Structure 1
Amino acid sequence: MKTSEPDTIMTSLQKAKVLSSQYGQNFTVFTGDLQLYRVEVNIIGAYPEQFQDVILCLGGIHILMSFIGSVGTRLTNSGLEELLESTFA
């Protein structure tokens, strides 16, 4: 199955919970990219009791990309682009 399939992610979440439990961890931290994160959020939303001890995280590069995208959106039509063009040609 594809890694982005909800069944595949559900199986991975369940296996990660089992492994965390075996090593005495109270919480399972599950890190993935943005595409998988969206599916993970939907699964956890559908089964909140089963996955109440799972913490979802985006990978570091995806957090950075989201931040840079939000800065770019905020600065659209602010004149920064023209300033940089005139400064650095």
Structure 2
Amino acid sequence: MQMVHKGEYPGKSTVSFLPMIDMSATDMSCIYSTLTFVCNLATRYDVSPVLTFDQPLYWKALTIVQNEKPNSQLKSLVLRLGGFHTEMSFLGSIGHIMSNSGIQEILELIYAPNAVSHILNGKAVARALRAHMLIDTALHCILTSDIFGIQIPGQVDDDLDQVNENKSEIMHKAAVLHTELFEGNITTSNNSTILKTIDNTMVTQLES
């Protein structure tokens, strides 16, 4: 200590509790008294006053400081939002900006709908971090597979299922047209393209 210290020795440091304010922490008078006390101490020691609050108290303290006169000592206060609530606010901003982009539907494939709402507004921090990491990983996998031509596992099976589903839908439409024509509900004189539609549909099915 003596090797790195310059100037007069400041003396032994002490750590002690500051006076307690016998009021509710959310009371505006309590917050104002705290801000004033800290500003007075900062002025005495010629330092910048810095205070950290959680989200509800931060909002009230900021309101008090903003409503003070320009020459008030409270204007020198540096108000900080706590780390956890800063993270919650950041995650909530992502959910707000990305709303209606399909992120909710994607997350509902993993989480329950109620959990997704908490993820998007930043309340469920741990789940939100995991959810955004999963989405980021999935997007990077898709981009990488498209750039380098790498097949994503399971993609072929999904594509085949989609093709089979489309074929089944085509055959169903052809069968409906044929049934309506056979029962006399529609006639070729009213719509000359019906038989051509059936023919083209069946040819497409056979060629595929």
Question: Which segments of 5 or more consecutive residues in structure 1 lack a partner in the other structure?
Answer: none
- 2:66 partner amino acid: G
Q: Aligned to 1:16, which of 38, 59, 69?
A: 38
Structure with max Cα Rg? 2
Calculate the TM-score normalised by the size of structure 1.
Answer: 0.81
- Measured in 2, the distance between the counterparts of 1:83 and 1:38 equals 33
Residue 75 of structure 1 corresponds to which residue in structure 2?
98
Question: Which segments of 5 or more consecutive residues in structure 2 lack a partner in the other structure?
Answer: 1-22, 111-133, 135-208
Equivalent residues in 2 for 1:4-83, closer than 5 Å: 4-25=26-47, 27-48=48-69, 49-50=71-72, 51-83=74-106
- Measured in 2, the distance between the counterparts of 1:20 and 1:72 equals 39
- Measured in 2, the distance between the counterparts of 1:68 and 1:40 equals 23
- Higher strand proportion (structure 1 or 2): 1
- Residue 28 (structure 1) shift: 0.7
Larger relative contact order (Cα-Cα within 8 Å, sequence gap ≥ 6):
1
- Residue 18 (structure 1) shift: 1.9
Give the secondary structure class of the aligned counterpart of 2:24: coil
CA RMSD in angstroms comes to 2.0
- Residues matched between the structures, number: 86
Give the secondary structure class of the aligned counterpart of 1:78: coil
CA deviation profile, 1:43-78 (whole Å, cap 9, x unmatched)? 112213221211111011111101100101122221
- Say whether 1:3 aligns with 2:25: yes
Calculate the TM-score normalised by the size of structure 2.
Answer: 0.38
- Residue 38 (structure 1) shift: 1.3
Percent of paired sites with the same residue? 31
